[in-house]
Amino acid sequence: MDVKHSADDFARKISARFDVVCFDLDQCAVRQHSRGRLLSTNLDDFASQVSPDFVSAIPALLKHNVKLAIVTHSDLAQHGPKKPRRSNDLDVDVVLGDDLVHEVLHRTVPDYAHEFFVVAWRPKSRGGEGDKDLGKIRHMRTCAAFYDVPVERCVLF
């Protein structure tokens, strides 16, 4: 089975159970981890690690009316006095959060970048992590609310 048919089969099966697919940026959409300290000079290298399966799945999921999201713990709130936005040592920017997600999407799937809702939120940078927000639970609740579907109709990869 070729990639296009595999992606379509995947999307058809997903659409039978879910309305929204949320892709984790690090280690899923991109086969590498940004580690919360990706320099702007390394954006092209990072984006080059995008998963071919992610790229193939997007048009197929959209064809089956599945909504898309990127979720990540990379968060602009990570910037602060101890981790400034600009790396003084190297005189380049550190790219995090929504900025990072949009840079990756525009480099890798420019025709579909506008189709994604983005949740870039790191609990530790925002005052803790309660039981209801462990892992990517808050991200999923936010995506469900945005798309006005029950959270049970969202799936995370």
51, 57 Cβ separation under 8 angstroms: no
104 has a pLDDT exceeding 90: yes
Distance CA 58, CA 53 (A): 9
List 50's β-bridge partners, or say none.
Answer: 30
pLDDT tens-digit map of 105-126: 999 999 999 999 999 877 676 6
Contacts of 80 (CB under 8 A, 6+ apart): none
Q: Give the relative orientation of helices 52-63 and 3-17 as an angle to the nearest 10 degrees.
A: 60
Strand partners, 23: 70
* Prediction pTM value: 0.88
